[in-house]
A and B are shown apart, each in its own frame.
Chain A
Amino acid sequence: MQVADPKQLEALERSASRKRTLYRWLLFLVLGLFAIYYLAPLYVMIVTSLKSMDEIREGNLMTLPGEIMLDAWKTAWSGRGYAAGDVFLRPFFWNSLKMVVPAVAISTFFGALNGYALTKWRFKGDNILFLLFLFGCFIPYQAILLPMARTLGILGLSNSISGLVLVHTVYGLSFTTMFFRNYYISIPDEMIKAARIDGAGFFKIFFKVLLPISAPIIVVTVIWQFTGIWNDFLFGSSFSFGEAAPIQVALNNMVLTSTSVKEYNVDMAAAFIAGIPTLLVYVLAGKYFIRGLTAGSVKG
């Protein structure tokens, strides 16, 4: 190829840079439009929750509230004060919290232990065992819904927080085991060998050597489990009702049971309240949230 003369080169350069600027603008335009698409529902939720019903009827989705009203939020959180037929989120929010904390803690702990035993103390059939665990991540829960309801009944745990803790712990085990197994498999076996020669046993190695370096995967697993259990509706609606229900079930009931007039502002405030904990986790620890989502699907 021949090198063009300086004038030609200059022209080439100029047209290239013009093209680049154009592309850049186009790029930002498309990305910006998508950002609006994703943000619009959130905007609508917030704006609606701050309006009065009259304002909602007069304006449209996008109009800003004339004056900020927190009444809908109060109603959503602590009710209107009637004795009957008044659904509000406060008790159910605590229900969900009481369900999430033990379920996440127990399933994460056992997942870590399983992952450790499966990767650092290989035994015959350990891969098959892992596969059997892994399969639990994929089953449609409809296939276990009926026997689970029966079992909870037999155990006397129907319609109770403890029952939901049990369910979420059991079906979380597959995920937590998978997370920890995939993390520990990348930690060199030599470290465990060295600790064994140093005289540490199974549990000592786990607690002293492995757990102190597991912070990232613990965060990923806790976030995954927290989000999954907090957002669960199927188990909550199948195994609980009334006072023992978790927040998602309560939210759905609230939206469905319109006493007389639909109060969209209250619905939106309630939806927002139900979403706050997971949104907060996402904003504070988004990196780990994404890592959890992509774990096992990209790295294989």
Chain B
Amino acid sequence: MFYWLQKNLPKIVIAPSFAVILWFVYGFILWTVYVSFTNSKMLPRYDFAGFKQHIRLWSHFRWYTAVENLLIFTVLFIGICIVIGIILSILLDQKIRAEGFLRTVYLYPMALSFIVTGTAWKWILNPSMGIEKLFIDWGFTDFTFDWLVNRDMSIYTIVIAAVWQSSGFVMALFLAGLRSIDDEIIKAAKIDGAGLYSIYITIILPMMRPVFMSSIVILLHISIKSYDLVIALTAGGPGTSSDMPAVYMTQMAFHRSEIGLASASAVMMFLTVLAIVVPYLYSELRRQDAGR
């Protein structure tokens, strides 16, 4: 008995946490998946209704707006963040004296919440008193900037604020990647006569593949989950023009009493994340195993 206890102590210690994860993560996800197949409205009901809610979801114009916005947002957000991140990390890697200070400046927005970020940018992008007025005061008298209240442009304001908040993070990832590269490779390339530009393009950036991978996965993940920033900046508006799936889900769940529909949209989000994260985790694990 004592021997058994001693031998299994590690498992016993982990068990409570694991049970919590099992229940609150996996159990809850299963619940959500099940409810997405029911007629639940304001309260969950457990009668099986087949794909009814999923069909409703995919015939709901608001959901299409949300998905379309997610696609626009994701592509721009990831693309711009990575470009800025790479540029900044390479420039910072040139043995700059003020590196520590600059790095701090580039990364601090990451410490702020999306609500704070959204509040600040909402003011900056204010159609009459914000950046528009600034440019008019500077002499560009016919400058207009009304994206925040323009149905066609509102989603881009979210991109602007999100890039401001997260691009420093990509910079940090790439900088760490650059620092982990063996100095001797760069020395060898220099002696071989390669210029700094071609060293980065042909040798260093290809070695950054894992960093690209993890940046993309993390940014994708941020964009699929993006909720706070939309709420703070546009609240999905004007109208529903800047809706995103996460906003749609909470709207349906807490304001429209459409639990079944909300669950169906949550399942879609979950499946999207699954499709991204599982291959990533799998390849990461293979890499770790190979390194062992």
List A residues 14-58 near B (Cβ within 8 Å): 27-28, 30-31, 34-35, 37-39, 41-42, 44-45, 48, 56-57
Q: From B130, B173, B269, give the contact of A143 (CB < 8 A).
A: B269
Q: Mark A207-240, 1 if CB is under 8 A from B, else 0.
A: 0000000000000000000010011111001100
A interface, how many residues as a size bin? 35 or more
Known: A35-B102, A144-B29, A146-B259. A300 touches B130 (CB 8 A): no
Q: Mark A236-249, 1 if CB is under 8 A from B, else 0.
A: 01100000000010
Report Cα–Cα, A248/B117, bound state, in Å: 11
Is B81 engaged at the interface, CB distance under 8 Å to the other chain? no
Q: From A42, A144, A272, give the contact of B28 (CB < 8 A).
A: A144
| Shortest Cβ distance from A24 into B: residue | B94
Report Cα–Cα, A121/B251, bound state, in Å: 46
Nearest Cβ on chain A to B12's Cβ, whole angstroms:
9
Report Cα–Cα, A71/B198, bound state, in Å: 56
Residues of B within 8 Å of A27, CB to CB, are 91, 94, 96
Residues of B within 8 Å of A142, CB to CB, are 225, 245-246, 249-250, 265-266, 269-270
| Shortest Cβ distance from B246 into A: residue | A142
Is B188 engaged at the interface, CB distance under 8 Å to the other chain? no
Q: From B91, B232, B277, give the contact of A252 (CB < 8 A).
A: B232
Residues of A within 8 Å of B65, CB to CB, are none
5 A-B pairs with C-beta separation under 8 A = A139-B273, A202-B9, A230-B113, A275-B111, A297-B215
Known: A38-B105, A132-B21, A146-B266. A114 touches B14 (CB 8 A): yes
Nearest Cβ on chain B to A111's Cβ, whole angstroms:
8
Report Cα–Cα, A234/B291, bound state, in Å: 38
Report Cα–Cα, A241/B31, bound state, in Å: 25
A binding-site residues for B, Cβ under 8 Å? 27-28, 30-31, 34-35, 37-39, 41-42, 44-45, 48, 56-57, 59-62, 110, 113-114, 117-118, 121, 123, 129, 131-136, 138-148, 150, 170-171, 173-174, 177, 201-202, 227, 230-234, 237-238, 248, 251-252, 255-256, 264, 267-268, 270-272, 274-275, 278-279, 281-283, 286, 289-290, 293-294, 297-298, 300
